[in-house]
Structure 1
Amino acid sequence: MPYDPTLHERAVLAARAWLDVPFRHQGRSRGGIDCVGLLICMARELGLPEYDVTGYTRRAQGMGFIEHFRANLIEIPLATAVPGDVMVFVETVFPCHTGILSTRHGEPHLIHAHAPRRKVIEEPFAGEWRDKLRFAFRFPGAGKV
């Protein structure tokens, strides 16, 4: 995929366009969306290859969740993540949640479909999210690692 210097910025804008959309497990529309659905719909909107997968459970069961990311995105060191990159989090041991890194007022934030809040939100990337972060990925074409 050719280099696109605007892809990170466009990814954040695309994610923000989904704010307040209701949470729905395996949702792929403005009627309801989950964390993976947010990435799939963003990829479609950005003209990126998207390889949708459904049939997953709401609880992590092994490393299958992360393998799909590794097959379709570029894994990057956590320390190199910038707004527009994809963050992957664990619950207990296994990866099970994802969101887009963003920034507000110079502070890191996370845009994600959050089941407990029942919608897509943008909140400070702090506390439990920093503790649960295990992987970071970049969309193909977004630049070098």
Structure 2
Amino acid sequence: MGGHDTRVVEAARAWIGTPYLHQASRLGVGADCLGLIRGIWRDLYGHEPERPPPYSRDWSEPSGDERLWLAARRHLMSKPREADWVCGDVLLFRMRSSAVAKHLGILSDTGRAPKFVHAYSGHGVIESPLGAAWRRRVVARFEFPEECE
């Protein structure tokens, strides 16, 4: 892992044990999956690029709008499908094939037993195996920019 990738994974792992709290982004207090990414962004750059509007647990499922995906594309760097999976990658998941993408995590380990850090309802911020069931739900990968204005 390069220095930037190491910082992303270290920042993500610092959140492990934070309770799950919808729309929150406070280390040790509460976070949802977007809140985790927002917190890592603040750790890397000292500020957030934008404040998300209030959102429901179903995100934009009724309208079918890919709001989370569009926000990720505004602030993170998209990775091509064929690019190597690298620790520190931001993973975007579609929880059901017919639903909008609405879950995020950070790839924390690659190789024979890949893992990712994410805020998961009912569990808090945890590091989970990125097994086949999770991996097939990944619809996009991003990386944090090296620098942020």
- TM value normalised by structure 2: 0.84
Relative to 1, partners in 2 of residues 1:42 and 1:132: Cα closer, same or farther, differing over 3 Å? same
1:120 matched to 2:125? The reply is: yes
Counterpart in the other structure of 2:87: 83
**Residue 139 of structure 1 corresponds to which residue in structure 2?**
144
The one-letter code sitting in structure 1 at the alignment partner of 2:92 is: V
Structure 1 runs (4+) deviating above 6 angstroms are none
State the Cα distance separating 1:45 from its structure 2 match: 1.0
Moved more, 65-74 or 40-49: 40-49
Specify the alignment match of 1:53 in structure 2: 52
1:106 deviation in Å?
5.3
Trace 1:12-91 onto structure 2 (pairs within 5 A): 12-29=9-26, 30-47=28-45, 50-51=48-49, 52-61=51-60, 62-80=65-83, 81-91=85-95
Query: Over the residues paired in the alignment, what is the CA RMSD in angstroms?
Result: 1.9
Greater Cα offset, 96-105 or 7-16: 96-105
Please tell me whether the aligned partners of residues 114 and 120 of structure 1 are also in contact (alpha carbons under 8 angstroms): yes
Give the structure with the higher percent strand: 1
Count matched residues: 137
Instruction: Flag structure 2 segments of 5+ consecutive residues without an equivalent.
Output: none
Percent identity, aligned pairs only, is: 33
- Hey, what's the Cα distance between the residues in 2 that align with 1:17 and 1:89? 22
The residue type paired with residue 136 of structure 1 is R
Letter in 2 for 1:101: L
Structure 1 pair 28/125, CA: closer, same or farther in 2 (3 Å)? same
> Unaligned stretches of 5+ in structure 1?
none
Instruction: Specify the SS of the correspondent of 1:83.
Output: coil
TM-score by length of 1: 0.86
